[in-house]
Amino acid sequence: MKVRIFDTTLRDGEQTPGVSLTPNEKLEIALKLDELGVDVIEAGSAITSKGEREGIKLITRENLNAEICSFVRALPIDIDAALECDVDSVHLVIPTSDIHMKYKLKKTPQETLECAANAVEYAKDHGLIVELSAEDATRSDVNFLIELFNKGIELGADRVCVCDTVGVLTPEKSIELFKTLKEHIKVPISVHCHNDFGMATANTVCAIRGGAVQCHVTVNGVGERAGNASLEEVVMALQVLYGYETNIKTEKLYETSRVVSRLMKLPVPPNKAIVGDNAFAHEAGIHVDGLIKNTQTYEPIQPELVGNRRRIILGKHSGRAALKYKLNLMGIEVSEEQLNEIYEKVKHFGDLGKYISDIDLKAIVNEVTGKHAEEKIKLDELTVVSGNKITPIASVKLHFAGEDKHLIETSYGVGPVDAAINAVKKAISGVADIRLEEYRVEAMSGGTDALIEVVVKLRRGSEVVEVRKSHGDIIMASVMAVMEGINMLL
């Protein structure tokens, strides 16, 4: 059986507190979702704003393979807004629990039925695919759910959806509920789970086992409160553990995860299943020893299957064999004596509670072997203009070591430091995707000639480096720290 994937990253996912996407950012994510192979993209809620409609229109104009959907309430004005955006379908949502009907809608069950029926009929009359969705369905009377769904189906609803709006479903109840619904409903049934109790993935998978054929998910499990069912977790659990098929190109999961993370400015937790940086990371000596012999000893799937990669982490739990294996993977050759010295330094840093990144390991190796990493990019010039009623602006001139190649860029900022760092980032944007994850001023000495210490944390892919630099000028301290971090990552 093939399960359809209905992605609501751009609607329910964007409802994550603090997240607001521009129309172009919505389009970028939609293009990645289509490339990933999702069947339906819920591009937003057209009634929300002019900008939201602009974003949905950008997506519908692309003629993607995925069905493009807009969330709508059971109101003609919402459906008209969706029609304006030229979507293929509407996710028509109506509250069905007693608490929602009484306090939110202020309608009786009969009035709710009539409202849903009128909206379905209106949407179908205007040529839309309709997915009739029951909000708070898992706290609703099941007989009322069946009545409402069948009324919608009589008027042309193409699919129905059960929403576990506050995440109170359990796996056992999920199987039972969807089995019951399948007996009485003759159109495809969808499931939409929230993660309030951390069971959204389990409940979604169990809904499929019970009879649902489509699941609503978000990339990285983003969404309001504790989030939604995670696309990558649901897809891989269905395929690997239960043998269901989907249209998802799983090797693109990690890449899609990082695009959503970057645009929504929501970091992916390192221990996030499937797409977290630690999902295939190993430190303990006994684990690495097993991996060297056979990767299946401590990995349920190959990381390449989801576009992730195996990481050997060095720390106080690592053994000498793990270090040697790691150095071999990095193409670094050292003598036995040097290996022992590197191993002792790794253990020392591990005992101090430090995580030894690949960048750190290279620095340790260079120290032990007496080699020094060459600066790939050097700062030639830095000019910053700032003052009262002047928007801070900075220009930088960088050049590649040993090459007659220069990078010159200018950028604005909220202050002179921000402008300078923005100019550097802009200059190297065509060379490498390096992001500033953290910036802080950690220590200052007294007096007008105070020595300032700046700490920056930079990321390139899965590699993170932290650099400290001291200088009498905060702008120079900041730029020097950023430049050193860039060179370490390159």
Q: What is the pLDDT of residues 442-478, one digit of tens each?
A: 666 566 556 777 888 888 876 777 777 777 788 888 8
- Report the share of the chain in percent with pLDDT over 70: 94
Q: Which of 34, 109, 106, 25 is nearest to 64 (CA)?
A: 34
Mean pLDDT of 326-341: 84
Q: What's the rounded Cα separation, in Å, for the pair 214 and 205?
A: 10
Mean pLDDT of 272-288: 79
**pLDDT value, residue 293:** 67
The top-level CATH class assigned to 377-489 is alpha beta
| Residues in contact with 162: Cβ distance below 8 Å, sequence separation at least 6, in sequence order | 133, 134, 137, 138, 145, 177, 178, 181, 189, 190, 191, 192, 207, 212
What token pair was written down for 24? 């172009």
Question: How would you classify the pairing of strands 435-444 and 452-460?
Answer: antiparallel
**pLDDT value, residue 270:** 87
Look at 484 and 86; give whichever has higher pLDDT.
86
**pLDDT value, residue 376:** 81
Q: Which of 221, 232, 158 is nearest to 193 (CA)?
A: 221
Q: pLDDT tens for residues 110-133?
A: 999 999 999 999 999 999 999 999
Residue 40, SS3? strand
**pLDDT value, residue 346:** 82
**pLDDT value, residue 463:** 74
Mean pLDDT, the chain, rounded, equals 90
Tell me 138's DSSP state: G
| Residues in contact with 475: Cβ distance below 8 Å, sequence separation at least 6, in sequence order | 382, 384, 416, 417, 420
Window from 17-21, 273-277, 400-404, 481-485 with minimum mean pLDDT: 400-404
pTM, entire model:
0.78
User: Is 4-264's fold the same as 377-489's?
Assistant: no
Question: How would you classify the pairing of strands 390-400 and 377-387?
Answer: antiparallel
- CATH second-level architecture of 4-264? Alpha-Beta Barrel (3.20)
Q: What's the rounded Cα separation, in Å, for the pair 105 and 7?
A: 27
Is there a contact between 392 and 414 (Cβ–Cβ < 8 Å)?
A: yes
**pLDDT value, residue 457:** 84
In this model, does residue 197 exceed pLDDT 90? yes
CA 189 to chain centroid, in Å, comes to 27
**pLDDT value, residue 361:** 81
Phi, psi angles (nearest 5°) of residue 314: -105, 135
Q: How far is CA 415 from CA 209, 325, 391, 409, 422, in A?
A: 56, 46, 8, 17, 10
Q: What's the rounded Cα separation, in Å, for the pair 250 and 157?
A: 31
**pLDDT value, residue 449:** 58
Taking residue 435's Cβ as centre, other Cβ atoms within 10 Å add up to 12
**pLDDT value, residue 374:** 67
How confident is residue 284, by pLDDT bands cut at 50, 70 and 90?
low
- Report the share of the chain in percent with pLDDT over 90: 58
Q: Where are the domains of the chain?
A: 4-264, 281-369, 377-489
